[in-house]
Structure 1
């Protein structure tokens, strides 16, 4: 695990119309990540955004 993951442990994930997922960005707080996800959600056809937390072991958990 690199130091950056510990400083920015919250990520926004995007799922497109075909089910592919992409990391949109990393954020220091859950509130910041949720604000970004909320601002992006609903701007496309069938797109979905959500927030995940990166654990110290490198695994992400959906919140």
Structure 2
């Protein structure tokens, strides 16, 4: 499988204290993305992390 055939529709998004949003990574499954969110959230930082699907209207 080459890069042009891989679909990674799930994003992990991070929002900092100032409201700035950053894409942390792209993943093939929601479960994989949620595992990353859970891992990052467990570190005790005050950042907000969540999963979005590409094409959703959540980020505008």
Structure with the greater alpha carbon radius of gyration: 2
Query: Runs of 4 or more off by more than 3 Å in structure 1?
Result: none
Which structure has more strand as a fraction of its residues? 1
TM-score by length of 1: 0.73
Number of equivalenced pairs: 54
Q: CA contact under 8 A between 1:52 and 1:61: conserved in structure 2? A: no
Measured against aligned partners, the alpha-carbon deviations of 1:15-58 in whole angstroms (never above 9, x if no partner) come to 111111100000000000000011001431x201000001xxxx
Q: CA contact under 8 A between 1:12 and 1:23: conserved in structure 2? A: yes
Counterpart position of 1:26: 26
- Aligned to 2:56, which of 43, 53, 60? 60
- SS state at 1:23 partner: strand
Q: Which runs of 5 or more residues in structure 1 are unaligned?
A: none
Q: Which runs of 5 or more residues in structure 2 are unaligned?
A: none
